[in-house]
Structure 1
């Protein structure tokens, strides 16, 4: 086994969010997401069948929810989003990578 670091080998292409599968067995999926200024479209929502626990490791982001709630996430902040709760990424830090750790279950 070897150790890996969430903050190394970040994608060089910043034009799109990068999703990297880290582990999982079907019922649970763990991924690293790297954003640099990306956000969801102005219209539309993520509405996932499963719950998602997500933490910001580096950078910052704002999550918006259909009910009007907005959360500003900074390094170390995390949230557990219930299944089917409509949300979107409204903003991520444009001048540095925002590194997320997401657990889908």
Structure 2
């Protein structure tokens, strides 16, 4: 059995985003992501083969979606469900505090 605190054990220095796989199984993966002023590299778009349900538990972030140039601002408690291959990027995360994400990557039923 593994236990922990989702908001604990965050390093004081974050030169790069922190990714931690908490659980994974048949077509599903749960990650904790920690950002602090991090954004996607210029011109880079995530284009994932699986769906991603993501929630901000602490901090704030802005995601941009390529198809319609839509920007979604997420604060603590906000979530978005991103379809597979929906190209998106992280445009902004707070620089003065950590942004802690809960990300669930999954396949559609029957895939």
Q: TM-score range with shorter-chain normalisation?
A: over 0.9
Q: Whole-Å Cα distance in 2 between the matches of residues 20 and 30 of structure 1?
A: 9
Are residues 1:62 and 2:62 paired? yes
- For residues 2 and 20 of structure 2, the distance between their equivalents in structure 1, rounded to whole angstroms, comes to 17
**1:2-51 deviation per Cα after TM superposition (whole angstroms, max 9, x unaligned):** 53211111133311000001001141000000000000012121000100
Distance in structure 2 (CA, Å) of the matches to 1:97 and 1:21: 18
Structure 1 stretch 49-58 or stretch 1-10: which is displaced more? 1-10
> Which aligned pairs between 1:1-105 and structure 2 lie closer than 5 A?
1=1, 3-66=3-66, 67-105=68-106
Give the whole-Å Cα distance in 2 for the aligned partners of 1:32 and 1:23.
10
C-alpha RMSD of the superposition: 1.1
Q: Is the 8 A contact 1:56 1:77 kept in 2?
A: yes
Of 3-12 and 94-103, the range deviating more from structure 2: 3-12
Q: Distance in 2 between matches of 1:2 and 1:76?
A: 24
Query: 1:62-81 deviations in whole A, cap 9, x for unaligned?
Result: 00000210000000000100
What TM-score do you get using the length of structure 2 for normalisation? 0.90
Spell out structure 1 runs of 4+ moving beyond 3 A. Answer: none
- Give TM-score, length-normalised by structure 1: 0.95
Gaps of 5+ in 1: none
State which drifts further: 82-91 or 24-33: 24-33
